[in-house]
Amino acid sequence: MTNESSSELVIRRLYQVTQDHSKGFEHQLLELLKMGLERFDLDIAILSKIDQNKYVVKYCVTPDEVPLNPNDCFDLNATYCSMTCNAKGPVGIEHMGEDDALAVHPAYQAFGLESYIGIPIRLNGQLYGTLNFSSPTPYPRMFRDVDIDALQLMASWVEVELIRREQEAQLKALNKELHHLANFDSLTNVPNRRGMHQTLHKDLNRLSRSQGHGTIALLDIDRFKQLNDTYGHQAGDDALVAIAEKITQSLRDYDFVARFGGEEFLLWLPDTAQEECSIVCKRVMENIATIGITAEPITVSIGACHFRFNQFKPDDMSKLIDNIISEADTVLYEAKAQGRNRLNSVTKVLSAD
């Protein structure tokens, strides 16, 4: 086989392996390692990661009698890959035992690997690890330029794929952060109005299908302007953070809290009627009163709207949510007018009539 036809075969085979995206990176990488073993007629294939002076096996293909597994760790200087890293390029050795210097190498002494071909893998200009193939049997011929070309082609794909996977992970992390910023209040770290509406839309759709019930309550900090004027706006921010924490700690696992705006929070208590709501809200108010930011206990007023679906399926869920919140706001205003530090409630039956 000519060098040209051999190179064409490697390129074609590499294309087949690397285009099989549906089976994932691990499958592709293992197939590439198997392809390298066939190409070089060797027994052991490894993609390693170099972590300081540690050589960590990331992926490997070995005969059954070779006890090597992913995450196995070795001293880098005790591996042939230390030579590859120092060479900063491909290294091919056909018969270690014939070289006096290599015959005393720790890897040869420990594992008796006679033949080896490897290349550094770089990620964003930094050493990531090595792609290497080896065997306890001496290589029957010299490694040729076409072998180095094949190794470099495989290493190039690994490097590109590692970069792509790193960028994909960074993009996912960024999207997650952006999602959090879009749906959570930056000060209190509870959902904001956008996050609130998403949760309420989903949960009220569920309740409308099952003709269930629930409670939406608005909580407002009493005399918050006075708190800011007396203790400063930083103390006001600290109070908002502490109150959000106390509310979260007071709610049940399936309840929900969002910052509605300013000094107001919205509580969503699914499958909760008036009596249960009173228990939860009393616990919230008692826990908030333990906050020690001000000389006097911080108090809150709460307006709750209990509702249940009765043969009713809303045409406009956003409008329904706004209406329920408006009902809660009305009784909250009444609680404020009646002296603050109290819970007022209203009940609505959502029916086709």
pLDDT tens, position by position, 257-316: 999 999 999 999 999 989 999 999 999 999 999 999 999 999 999 999 999 999 999 999
Task: Quote the radius of gyration of the chain (alpha carbons, Å).
Answer: 33
Per-residue pLDDT at 353 exceeds 70? no
Beta strand residue intervals within 226-335, DSSP E: 256-261, 264-270, 300-310
CA distance linking residue 331 with residue 334, whole number of Å: 5
Instruction: Find tokens 């792609």 and name the residue.
Output: 131
pLDDT band at 141 (very low <50, low <70, confident <90, very high): confident
Instruction: Find tokens 């990488």 and name the residue.
Output: 29
Q: What is the pLDDT of residue 345?
A: 97
CA 76 to chain CA mean position, Å = 31
Least confident of 11-15, 165-169, 325-329: 11-15
Long-range contacts of 43-47 (CB under 8 A, 24+ apart): 43/134, 43/135, 43/136, 43/137, 44/68, 44/113, 44/133, 44/134, 44/135, 45/132, 45/133, 46/130, 46/131, 46/132, 46/133, 46/134, 47/121, 47/129, 47/130, 47/131, 47/158
CA distance linking residue 259 with residue 221, whole number of Å: 12
Residue type, 243: I
Per-residue pLDDT at 178 exceeds 90? yes
Q: What is the pLDDT of residue 242?
A: 98
Q: What is the pLDDT of residue 4?
A: 52
Per-residue pLDDT at 220 exceeds 80? yes
